[in-house]
Amino acid sequence: MPTSEVTYIGELRVKSVHVFSGNEIITDAPLDNQGKASLSPHRPFSNITTNCMLTIMGIAARTHQFSIDGTRAEVTKTML
């Protein structure tokens, strides 16, 4: 079974559905690349990478019996 089902729905828009939870993300091309930019694909990538890092830190903290509750990160995406 796939983790996600991803569909190009037209007009530079893509829908991703997480199979297990049913959670859905819709992305558009950025404004500077012919899109509507409601949520361009590179923005969630930056956030998801940060979420992954904090989750790994949480697993390590749990393993070593300490808390990182309240740990924060700020994400700034820059296109070069």
Report domain extents, the chain: 4-63
Token pair for 12:
């530079």
CATH of 4-63 given 3.30.70.2860, 3.40.50.720, 3.30.300.20, 3.40.630.30: 3.30.300.20
**Residue with the two structure tokens 């996600």:** 4
User: DSSP alpha helices (H): ranges in 5-70?
Assistant: 42-63
| pLDDT at residue number 23 | 94
3-state SS, one letter per residue, for 20-50: CCCCEEEEECCHHHCCCCCCCCHHHHHHHHH
Query: Within 10 A of 40 (CB to CB), how many other CB atoms are there?
Result: 20
Write the pLDDT tens digit of every residue in 19-66.
999 999 999 988 878 888 777 777 788 888 998 999 999 999 999 999
Confidence of residue 1 (pLDDT cuts 50, 70, 90): confident
